[in-house]
Amino acid sequence: MNIMDKFCLKGRKAIVTGGAQGIGFNYASAVAAAGADVAIADINGEKARETAEQIAGEYHVKAMGIQADVTSPEQVERMCREMAEEMGRIDIAFCNAGISINVPAEEMTYEQWRKVIDINLTGVFLTATAAGRYMIRQGGGSIINTASMSGHIVNIPQPQVAYNASKAGVIMLTKSLAVEWADKNVRVNSISPGYIMTDLIRGHELIPRWTELSPSSRMGNPEELQGVALYLASDASSFTTGSDFVVDGAYTCV
């Protein structure tokens, strides 16, 4: 097989949580460009459907939008069921939905802590295991979790104890699922982005400080995550499981 053929996703079916914007949108665009049909899942159902229409029109693939709260086991199960009924199977799952609440630890409420952990860590567990059950029955699949460089380092100057803890948890969850499912042909990997210039943080007052601390002296662009996303979703990474890919312009190296 030609090496480039291994990156082809024609006929594959992918789901992306938090896929209506930002990093998730770029993951969905990457796999759609390679031929995969895509389900966009988001807490904002209207935005998910609009994004699905955009991707279908641009890449000429089948796309659907699904409203789902990844902290709800029932909604996650429904999300995967709706996708499987519409598209026939689940081959690729990007567990990407996440939030950050930057509050000093001594001021953080239990509710704030719980919200970050529920979305960033429990949501990944629920999505990965729900999709994983379909993949196990099908004989294989690829799960890609969005972790963060914050799972490796403590970011400064912003206080984000819950976010850091949740993303470190995602990395170990990824490794644990990879080991459990290695003999089932279900691969589980994670991507740990550095500071990425999404619309959600564009204009943030700390951007000059973050770029000053980075060896690359700049923020990353969401499109710069698409290469590793496509690699992990495709047969090019057939022997890659349990790995975390840090994409941060060398930020965590110093």
Per-residue pLDDT tens for 24-51? 999 999 999 999 999 999 999 999 999 9
Mean pLDDT, the chain, integer: 97
Work out the pLDDT band at 19, boundaries 50, 70, 90. Answer: very high
- Beta strand residue intervals within the chain, DSSP E: 13-17, 37-42, 63-67, 92-95, 141-146, 186-193, 244-247
CATH of segment(s) 10-245 = 3.40.50.720
Going by pLDDT thresholds of 50, 70 and 90, the confidence category of residue 22 is very high
Sign of CA dihedral 140, 10, 28, 47: negative
Cα separation, 251 vs 210, in Å, equals: 9
* Residue of 8, 11, 186 lying closest to 87 (CA atoms): 11
Residue 199 has pLDDT above 90, yes or no: no
In total, the chain counts a number of residues equal to 254
Q: Once rounded to an integer, what is the mean pLDDT over residues 196-209?
A: 90
- Assess contact for 81 and 73: CB atoms under 8 A: no
Helices (H), ranges, 121-235: 123-138, 161-181, 207-213, 226-233
CB 43 within 8 A of CB 92: no
Q: Are 167 and 173 in contact (CB under 8 A)?
A: no
Residue 228 pLDDT: 98
pLDDT of residue 250: 98
Over 80: is that where the pLDDT of 200 sits?
Answer: no
Nearest to 17 by CA among 197, 144, 111: 144
User: How high is the pLDDT of residue 219?
Assistant: 96
Give the confidence band of 217 by pLDDT, cuts at 50, 70, 90. very high
For 115-160, write each residue's pLDDT tens digit.
Answer: 999 999 999 999 999 999 999 999 999 999 999 999 999 999 999 9
Full-model pTM: 0.97
Residues tagged active-site: 148, 163, 167
Domain ranges of the chain: 10-245
**How many whole angstroms separate alpha carbon 93 and alpha carbon 90?**
7
